[in-house]
Structure 1
Amino acid sequence: NFSILRTPIAKPDYASATVEVEGSSERYLTNLNVFKDFKVVSFREKGLNHFLVIKSDERKEITFPEDAYHVGGGNNANFDTKIYRYNYSSPTTPSTTFDYNVETGESKQVHQVEVPGFDQHKYVVERKFIPSHDGVLVPMTIIRAKTTKVGDPNKCLLYGYGSYSISIHPWFNRNNISLLDRGFVYAIGHIRGSSTMGRSWYENGKFLKKQNTFKDFYACVKYLIKEGYTAKGKIGIMGGSAGGMLVGATINLDTENLIGAACADVPFVDVLNTMLDDGLPLTQLEYEEWGNPNDKEYFEYIKSYCPYSNIQEREYPAVLAIAGLNDPRVTYWEPMKWTYKLRDYATDSRVKLLWTNMDAGHAGASGRFEAFKEYADIYTFFIKELE
């Protein structure tokens, strides 16, 4: 999880270095800002971001009131200052900028993004740690309107991404408010393959441990049903790119038919065939994440979870696969092949939809309003199919 060393400018080497901030298995150090009279260390603990302010021999943490949130350094252009600026948000708090005074220890709000018609007091956020298949506790953030009661058969959307050490933080997302106001529960699974819980969290969700990512996510599905946030067939799952692979692998795991609908956005679902084609522009770079399938051990392991390779003749949820014709990262034929194979093998009558955006690349529709329309179509799919 890294450490921070101090070394003389005249002799910058390990032998003459002293430890400024110890590394630990609990704290994942992510950044360091240096000012004239103080330093700010950014770190993640129990999946949430924090700041440690170091001034001479004094060390003080900036604390935050909510159980789930995201915070990051802001625009700090002045070296000679007593102010550290940071940006804070949570599932119920729009992006807010604060100035922290290192002498008084007080944070002052200087700006908040306006969200017309939004009342943060109408919603509740919970942070849960749930046991996965191997007993490891996986963090999950759950958001709902206060009028949406646990124990009712609520519709639910679970979002996830667990690759490349990229973490999905519990920040504010205005797109989700329309679902919450319609009685949905919205959840984020902070699964292995991300770096939510530190470097080892990532390393235990890649290469020959990739199955942990999918099993963590499926454990989140089962927890939400078991604890009454939703019901069998009322839960939808969503992810994009490698998160689309997560969706494809998870519906293959779901032999209990718990999941009612799944949206895989530009999904990396034909993993084995793509990784075997080193003529594609990104394949050889991807060996560092999935392994080289020209090695038999990696070939067999990738084959064991590849969504396209593991489709079976059985019932599947309703599926919406989204492709971009000009996508250089996940070629458009991956979601196309996957969708058609699902149609051939699925024994149910639920829809298996393919939506190819003929003008888009990997990031979806261009333009703010087109992106809103795309989200509206996706959410309409979940509203309809989770009846």
Structure 2
Amino acid sequence: MTHTPLQQPASSSDVGTSRPPVAKRVPAERTHHGDTFVDHYEWLRDKESEEVVAHLKAENAYQEAITAHQEPLREAIFQEIKGRTKETDLSVPNRKDGWWYFSRSIEGKEYGIQCRVRAQNTGNPVADWTPPAVEAGVEIPGEEVLLDGNVEAEGKPFFSVGGTAVTIDGNLYAYAVDNAGDERFTLRIKDLRTGELLPDVIENVFYGVSFSPDGTRIFYTVVDDSWRPYQVKSHVLGTPVTDDEVIYQEDDAAMWLGFELSSDRRHLVLGIGCSEYSETRLLRFDDPGAGLSTVISRNERVLYEAEPFLLEGPDGQETDRILITHNRNAVNSMVSLVDPAELSKPLAEQAWTTVVEHSDDVRVNGAGVTATHLVVSIRKDTIERVQVMSLAGLGTAAQQAPVEPAFDEELYTAGVGGSDYEAPVIRLGYTSYFTPSRIYDFVLPTPEQPAGELLLRKESPVLGGYDGSDYVATREWAEAADGTRVPLSVLRHRAVKQDSTAAGLVYGYGSYELSMDPGFGIARLSLLDRGVVFVIAHIRGGGELGRHWYEDGKKLSKKNTFTDFIAATDWLAQSGWVAPDRIAALGGSAGGLLMGAVANLAPEKYAAVVAQVPFVDPLTSILDPELPLSALEWEEWGNPITDPAVYEYMKSYTPYENVREVAYPKIAAVTSFNDTRVLYVEPAKWVQELRNKTTGSEPILMKIEMDGGHGGASGRYVQWRERAWDYAFIADSLGATELLPGAGLK
């Protein structure tokens, strides 16, 4: 029996009222493994339909009516974000070959401006790699504008750059632009000597572009009909696009394809893989006729990355070596060194040299090289860290101990931000919950300076009287039903009292081994300043505690992700900080699936739920391999097409199919019409079913950006307003609309 909503329903044409739009019911049967599901709202998938578009606009009109009273709060939060952001700002110049590249942002303009200035080569390595001082509003002599996003975006509904590349000689600049939000880009090439565009225009490319070292070719990726990158192609400048060569095509629908140049730019490196195993293929630029060579076949079921480079031996001779970061007999991965000649042997007979050993406590995320050092990214105690060691003696008894840049906070994130192969420094990004983003150059260790040296290049300014000491971040632990301890990051304003009266928000993701690492967020301060205790739940399915943490939250263990989040909510409710009836939940994409699942499992624990671009109908999507990216999801959730157990398990938690007759809290599903990763139809169907079944009177809303993609609309001011909408909805739902005494902009 379908419950009758308390409010009198409105038709899709009933725009401008406070009654929710009601989509017509058109039964569509989906049968798998003897189970038939009747979906009454599948017709909403037809985005070309005028009726569908009218319905979506009616949804927007309804949410605007219901949330109209939040507009002053939205405006206040937007002004707080704007007031704390240095709108006229610039990035730290990053050197590549003979140029320093940087971006400028200007007050009142939505998009960044990409610039460069010529570098010096005086023979003093540290001086030559010290970025020039760039001032806002002050042009450096010789400064060139490569791409002004504001000019490119003029008259367009959307603007996003999906990749840029510059030839080694600095003469040609390639950039890929998306004007729809659907992540299909148009690639153009500019001659920086004249400012003129070349006639070469390539449509429908995917992320990432690179020039060949000689600058005569450009490499790019193409997606198939299901939005999976499956071809890497090569375009010879000045020739018809129809003549472009397919370097490699991946036909396995469950495998993702990408490419990059090796650090020393001697190879094109193709990465093919899923979340469980991979394959790397190499193309030598000095011998392109040799074709692609495979490092380790996917048939070995090894998850790995490979970096070919030249290693200087004790005799001064350089020899080809491949650095492999892999999970072969190493669940948390390790780093090995191999002679390419070994690759012709069966894997079991190959001689590999261990460079970074496996550890149950340390997850190795990746490794790369500069001309002089190995750079390794690891995760220990949930924290992302960087270690370096000299290439001299690598893989021998003379191998040196790793050196790790030291920081003085407990909860932080440090990652490699890119560096030139020949540079004596590596660029590091650093942030914590209350330390704005910092850019460091780490001078690589030498015998004279064995610890290296951290050089602070910039800390992103925060205006409005921001003082990090006004806030507190602590590491806490929730206990799941099976006894697993789940790490939490608990953020609050120092003025909040532990008297069980505050409002609380629990945020989570918990999929694809992605970690919710410490990071500064200006918008989040607006909630903290209103007394909201913000909890980031590092639940299973993420990568915070190593590979096991991920594997314990995927496929037939996926429900651990949901119950961990509820355990985090219970911890907060019992912490003494908040009133248990003043807790909201927030998550996006796969975290939106999480929102739908916990709303079904424990609706009484939340006053409000905000699900951003939510993956709430995953079974329908993954059962159809023709839908965007669905086949790639089998390694994360299992394959319900071929496996009845996976089908049954997914059916038991997929949010859309498990909506039940209970009193749901306030729910806002926030989505975009042109999202290619989680189609708008999923939240559109979900909100209809929630309204059908809820026994409560709280509003169920859908907010849809008609010109946006998976990341929402483009343009920083528009994005700030989107975040202000989400946070105002949460703060209003929790009764946390007033600033704490002394908090807010100064």
TM-score range normalised by the length of the shorter chain: over 0.9
Contact in 1 for aligned 2:385/2:414 (Cα 8 Å): yes
Runs (5+) with no aligned partner, structure 2: 1-331, 391-398, 736-746
Find the aligned partners of 2:355 and 2:719 in 1 and give their Cα distance: 45
Contact in 1 for aligned 2:374/2:388 (Cα 8 Å): yes
Q: CA deviation at 1:167?
A: 1.7
Query: Are 2:690 and 1:342 equivalent residues in the alignment?
Result: yes
Q: CA deviation at 1:278?
A: 3.0
Q: CA deviation at 1:80?
A: 5.4
Query: Are 2:508 and 1:165 equivalent residues in the alignment?
Result: no
The 5 A counterparts of 1:157-306 are 157-254=505-602, 257-294=604-641, 295-306=643-654
**Segment of structure 1 superposing worse, 8-17 or 133-142:** 8-17
Normalized against structure 2, the TM-score is what?
0.50
Q: What are the superposed Cα offsets for residues 72-108 of structure 1, whole Å, 9 maximum, x if unpaired?
A: 0123214352x33311100100111123342252423
Match of 1:376 in 2: 724
- Letter matched to residue 249 of structure 1: A
Match of 1:21 in 2: 356
Pick from 338, 350, 361 the counterpart of residue 7 of structure 1. 338
- Letter matched to residue 514 of structure 2: I
Match of 1:128 in 2: 476
Contact in 2 for aligned 1:50/1:63 (Cα 8 Å): no
Find the aligned partners of 1:20 and 1:91 in 2 and give their Cα distance: 33
Q: CA deviation at 1:149?
A: 2.1
Pick from 406, 409, 412 the counterpart of residue 69 of structure 1. 412
Q: CA deviation at 1:244?
A: 0.4
Pick from 470, 481, 499 the counterpart of residue 151 of structure 1. 499
Q: What SS does the corresponding residue of 1:233 show, helix, strand or coil?
A: strand
Normalized against structure 1, the TM-score is what?
0.94
Q: CA deviation at 1:336?
A: 1.3
Find the aligned partners of 1:78 and 1:287 in 2 and give their Cα distance: 37
- Letter matched to residue 264 of structure 1: A
Find the aligned partners of 1:80 and 1:341 in 2 and give their Cα distance: 57
Q: What are the superposed Cα offsets for residues 331-356 of structure 1, whole Å, 9 maximum, x if unpaired?
A: 21211111111111111111111112
Contact in 1 for aligned 2:490/2:536 (Cα 8 Å): yes
Q: CA deviation at 1:6?
A: 2.1
- Letter matched to residue 4 of structure 1: V
Q: What SS does the corresponding residue of 1:185 show, helix, strand or coil?
A: strand
Pair 85,280 (structure 1): closer, same or farther in 2 beyond 3 Å: closer
Q: What SS does the corresponding residue of 1:127 show, helix, strand or coil?
A: strand
Count matched residues: 385
Q: CA deviation at 1:310?
A: 1.2
Q: CA deviation at 1:282?
A: 2.2
Find the aligned partners of 2:373 and 2:676 in 1 and give their Cα distance: 44
Q: What are the superposed Cα offsets for residues 225-281 of structure 1, whole Å, 9 maximum, x if unpaired?
A: 1112322221111111111000010111115x1211100111111122222233323
In percent, how many aligned pairs have the same letter? 39
- Bigger-Rg structure (1/2): 2
Query: Are 2:419 and 1:88 equivalent residues in the alignment?
Result: no
Match of 1:313 in 2: 661
Q: What are the superposed Cα offsets for residues 150-199 of structure 1, whole Å, 9 maximum, x if unpaired?
A: 23411122111111222221111111011111111112111111112112
Find the aligned partners of 2:648 and 2:638 in 1 and give their Cα distance: 11
Contact in 2 for aligned 1:89/1:95 (Cα 8 Å): yes
**Segment of structure 1 superposing worse, 260-269 or 197-206:** 197-206
Q: What SS does the corresponding residue of 2:607 show, helix, strand or coil?
A: strand
Query: Are 2:462 and 1:107 equivalent residues in the alignment?
Result: no
Contact in 1 for aligned 2:370/2:420 (Cα 8 Å): no
Match of 2:707 in 1: 359
Find the aligned partners of 2:450 and 2:457 in 1 and give their Cα distance: 17
Pick from 365, 368, 373 the counterpart of residue 30 of structure 1. 365
Runs (5+) with no aligned partner, structure 1: none
Match of 2:400 in 1: 57
Pair 50,312 (structure 1): closer, same or farther in 2 beyond 3 Å: same
- Letter matched to residue 438 of structure 2: T
**Segment of structure 1 superposing worse, 301-310 or 24-33:** 24-33
**Segment of structure 1 superposing worse, 168-177 or 323-332:** 323-332
Find the aligned partners of 2:372 and 2:589 in 1 and give their Cα distance: 43
- Letter matched to residue 265 of structure 1: Q
Q: CA deviation at 1:46?
A: 1.7
- Letter matched to residue 234 of structure 1: R
Q: CA RMSD in A?
A: 1.8
**Segment of structure 1 superposing worse, 226-235 or 204-213:** 226-235
Find the aligned partners of 1:54 and 1:128 in 2 and give their Cα distance: 33
